[in-house]
Structure formats: C-alpha cells, structure tokens
Structure 1
C-alpha cells in the first residue's frame, strides 16, 4: 500500500541485501542489541510526523542477516516512524520464542496492565529518540521513568551529545538505568576533549549508565569501514566495560551515504575489541544482564 505521507517524509534506502560473513566468528550466544523491523505498512502504518519513510525490512530478512553474522539473539528497538504503536516490534519479538527482546516507546499515560503485558512480551526499556520527528519529547522523561521503574526497565536515549552535552545531567538524575545508543553520536573530529564527550565519559564512569557501541557509520566522517571512530569506541568501552553492548542498527534507516554491509560493522567491532574475553563480555554477558535473557 502506498503511503500518502511520503511526500513530506522522504524515502530512505534499505540495507545491503547481501550481508557477508565477518572475518572472525562471533562467540556463541552473541546478541545484536540494536535493530529495527519495518512493514508491511498496511499492517503497521507509519506516523505522519516522521523524518523518513523506510522500505519494508522484514523479520525474515533480519534473521538471515543475524545468521550470516553469527548472532543468536537480538533486541528490536521501536523506531520513531512507528510512534507509540509497538505492534511491529513486539510481534517480531513474539515470533522468536524468547530469543529476542524489545525497547519500546510508550506514552506516560499508559496503563499498568499494558506495561505488564509489554514486560511479559519481552520489553525491557523505553527509547527517547531526540534526533528524529516522531519520538517522545524530552519533557516526558521523568514521568516515563517513574512508570517503568517498578519493572526494572531502562531508558534509552538517541541524542547528539556533542551538540547537547546538557542532556547528560538529565540522564544522571533518572531513577532507572540509562542506555546511550549510537555512541552518543560523538564525532571523531571533535575528539574526546569535547564537552559532550567528557560529560558522557564521566557519566559512564559513575557506574549506572550503559552505552551501545553501535552506529559507527552515523558518527564517522570517513568512508567504510569507519576506522576514525576507533578512539571513541575504545574510550567508551574502557569507561564502562561491564555496561557496554554492541548493535548493528540493521536495516540502517534514514542513512543516505553509501550503505555499509553488516559484515563491515562486525569486523570493525572486532578490531575495536581484540581481546576475546572482552568481546564475549560485550556480545554475550552484558546483554544477558541488561535485557534479562
């Protein structure tokens, strides 16, 4: 079904359809901690207030990528284009019989019964996407945090901390753990002395915040394989080795430079983390704690 709002929300490309295996085998039980599913749009319609219109990215296609990379488990993150309608995300999790978890988007007015149902279905956190239309407003953070605290969930933030370092203080005062996705969108050319980078590293060092070393291609100023992100990624890992996870960000929505192959991204992660025990911690042990696998 054609989407009548496409004219105001430009179409974005889909992922590389031919994922290649990484050079190094991932450890058993590895978790892809950041991904999305889209479509079919007639079943899971997009909100009118959105920044992009993705093509369908099916669970079957995603499972093929996971198998090629060597991931056994995954976390589906509710994208901004679906607003608070979590059906596509939760249906994908339900189809995988315990191998998937979810990060959802909910309004503060959601009922306790609805929250409990999401928790039983595998939801473990709520995302605040502050970079794209369609996400929850920052003003809702405290109210949402109070609602999810009894469930042991976390708040996940997608924000550019180079541009908005003051957000770190918002994260610091929450009553639940926070997870910063896509490396805080820190730009390599701004370095680790940038106020946003310093604030983020300080927060990680305090012992409650987590970070996803995902979305390197979104931060990088270089071409594939985005090696200019190595210093940032290693600094984040060193700051919170027990509170860092990795994600592919498949199917890489709203990205308009040359599309990475997911094998490129996994190979880059393996370069960032040459120690096998540390790789296992990030790919297996840390996700098991955060998402309660």
Structure 2
C-alpha cells in the first residue's frame, strides 16, 4: 500500500525549487547571511509524499556558497531519473569541476543576490555576464534570484542571453498592501522572449501583509496569458525566512522556516490555473523540457 497521503498534483509533476540543508554532514559557509535549520534529503522526500511529488530540482542555497557537496549528494541519492540541480559557482570553480557538476545532473547556474538582506538591489550586470559565459559551453541555464530593480538593470543582457534564463520567485514581482503591483509588466516582457522562464514559486514572497487575496491569482493568470509554455511551478521548500527578520536576527542565529501548509498552498496554486491542460503544462511538461527530465506518461 502506498504511503502517499493523496495526490495534490498530476503524476510526473516536478517541483523545480527545493533546498537541502544538512549541516551535520555538510558545514555551512562561514560568511553566510543566515543560518537555516536542518532539512535533509529524507525531509524533502517526506514533503514530496504529502503531494505525490517524486521529481525535484535541488537548488543551491546561499549558505553553502560555491561548495555544492550537499547538492551533489542529494542528486546522487535521489537518483538521476528523479532529480536535477541548479548549482552556484565562482571564479575559483574550475572547468573540470563544472563539467563534473553537469555530469551529476546540474542543469543551471544560480546568481543569488536577494538572500543577502543588504543586497536586494545589487547591480548584477557584471556577475551575470560572467555566469552566462560559464554556462554557455555546457548548455546550462542561468537562474536569477534578485529584486525587480536588479532585473531592470540587466534587462538588455537577459534579452540577448545565449542561454536560457530562469527568473526565481515570480521574477521579483511585488504586491503592496494597497494593491499596487510592481514589476509585472517588466517580467511579462521578459517572459515573452523564447529563452526566458519564470518560476511560479513562493507566493508568500510576492504579496505584502494585507494585500488582497486575489492579487496573486490575477498575476498568475496574466503570466499564463503571456507565455504559458515558459512557466514552471516550484514550492521553495522548506520555506526559508528572510526580509527584515533576517537582518534583525543576524547570520549566526538559527532562522526558523516559515510555517507553510504545503498541501493547502499547492492545492491553492493548482486552483489558480486555467485548465487541466495548463496544470499539466506548468507542473509536468514545461519543467521536464527545461531541466531535461524524461517526459511523463499521460
């Protein structure tokens, strides 16, 4: 008898943004901006069983810097048919190390400036150019976690990118408590390009407290109308904190994860999509294409 509680998402769904935090086996970087609690591969798999998800994209979190050891271990243990990775590299990362990451299942390189509580509006042009140059010979995507301000500064580079570009967490779109939406047109313009993808992930990062409950479903509908074949779903599990709380807490104190009901959150997301065909496209078919999974059998 299966131990999956129930299926919230279609068979073959891919959660394109989960993290592994395993400080007992893989120490965090000394110069990290926060200290998350532990959430190892077994915890990821247990989370997936609640939804009926077995395929994951493991994304390197900033607390590990350019040491992708925890990511590589997760890829190996979870298996090549069920997992892919997005790594973080630096100038010290050799071409041999990069080739080994690709061989292990890495399909993207991440530029993360938003995890730093003081770096939300950093100018990303130069590091983005460098990352695109590293990614292109290996046919890797570049994934960006940055503010809408940083995204606007680099819009021309993104438009001319020789590799796929993935925008984390709705591309930095924000909904204010007054209902004002910032960044939507900008993200939609980038999304209209054939090589740009948007992760519909972590809606709790999008809307300010007090924002109208219908704001995010409306944004999702707008992006679906723009380019449904370039949208992918992600949970952002295990839901790290951030924002002003992170800055106040300081990097050494353990940061609690957000209290998210994954079944309810994912069920709500699925309900925002326009049809069963769109659900299949965004949760199964699009991420399989982007990250190189085998197509799911319908």
TM-score by length of 2: 0.83
Q: Who is 2:272 aligned against?
A: 272
- Following the alignment from structure 1 to structure 2, what is the Cα–Cα distance between the partners of residues 131 and 72? 28
Secondary structure in 2 matching 1:165: helix
Which runs of no fewer than 5 residues in structure 2 stay unpaired?
Answer: 246-256, 294-298
Superposition RMSD in Å = 2.6
Distance 1:237 1:277 in 2: 12
- The answer as to 2:171 corresponding to 1:188 is no
Secondary structure of residue in 2 paired with 1:51: coil
More strand by share: 2
Deviates more, 1:104-113 or 1:279-288: 104-113
* Counterpart Cα distance in 1 of 2:112 and 2:60: 10
Match of 2:259 in 1: 259
What's the counterpart of residue 166 of structure 2? 179
2:65 paired with 1:89: no
> For the structure 1 residues 69 and 133, does the alpha-carbon distance in structure 2 shift closer, same or farther, using more than 3 Å as the test?
same
Cα pair distance change 1:46/1:27, threshold 3 Å: same
Q: Is the 8 A contact 1:161 1:167 kept in 2?
A: no
1:165 shift after superposition? 2.6
Corresponding residue number in structure 2 for 1:287? 287
Q: How many residues align?
A: 270
What is the Cα deviation at residue 261 of structure 1?
1.1
Equivalent residue number for residue 8 of structure 2: 25
CA shift for structure 1 position 167: 3.2
Segments of 5+ residues of structure 1 without an aligned counterpart are 1-19
Q: Report if the CA contact (8 A) 1:37-1:76 is conserved.
A: yes
Closer/same/farther in 2, CA of residues 33 and 273 from structure 1, 3 Å limit: same
Task: Identify the range of structure 1 (84-93 vs 49-58) with the bigger mean alpha-carbon deviation.
Answer: 49-58
CA distance in 2, matches of 1:89, 1:242: 27
| Residues 39-74 of structure 1: CA deviation (Å, up to 9, x unaligned) | 1x2431222332211000011111011011111201
